[in-house]
Amino acid sequence: MPLQLLPLAESDIPRFAIIDEAAMANWPYAEAIIGKGDARIALVAKWLREGWGKNPAEHYMKVVDTETGEMIAACMYELHPEPKAKQEELSSQRHAPGEEGPASSVWEASGRLGREFDAEFVGDKPYSQLNVLVTDPKHQRRGAGSLLVAHVCKEADERNLLCRLTASQAGLAAYLKHGFEVKKIVPLDLRPYGFDSIEDRRFMLRPAKDAAA
């Protein structure tokens, strides 16, 4: 069945939240950050609606099965063609679990690791960032995720931006295929937060087009 890449519309937010919950259902880190089930769906949808259109750096894409019209995958990424330091204020306004978040301390710990990685590998360079990529589990292995990653890479290349992301084990192969490299792996112990798991945070970079030439 043919797949089509399209911009995500505000009306797609409920479906995005449903796919997100399904894709993250068996991942302790995702549960530690936002929770699971209907509560997660409601919170993700709420954040997306509240932030929609407010950050010009944010971009959303979806993949649709053209035979059924069903949205089966989506992503959110950021483009920062200005030096990184000029974008920190906007980035800090990104949805972050506050009192509603089930484990905002996990979010904070993860954010600290990300800032340490940026200080070591990104510095003040202009960059792009893939924040979220989710595929409906019923439609995995159809190439939807790869379409989204390729689009993000194309957008970065057109602006000569390096691209950063943090990969789960499930998404690692797709990112490697598109030129990302694992630069740092840092374990994040979730046990103090009530989850019997240690999450490997895999920080990856894809060089800017000129740097890769």
What does the domain layout of the chain look like in residue ranges?
A: 3-212
Low-confidence ranges of the chain (pLDDT < 50): 86, 89-103
Tell me what pLDDT residue 38 has.
Answer: 95
- Does pTM top 0.75 for this prediction? yes
Strands (E), the chain: 3-7, 58-65, 70-80, 127-135, 162-167, 181-189, 198-206
- And the tokens for 130? 């893939």
* All residues at 6 or more sequence positions from 102 whose CB lies less than 8 Å from its CB, including other chains: 31, 32, 33, 34, 35, 39
Q: Does domain 3-212 have CATH number 3.50.50.60?
A: no
The C-alpha atoms of residue 171 and residue 187 are separated, in whole angstroms, by: 17
Quote the tokens at residue 88. Answer: 């920190």
pLDDT at 90: 45
Per-residue model confidence (pLDDT) at position 101: 44
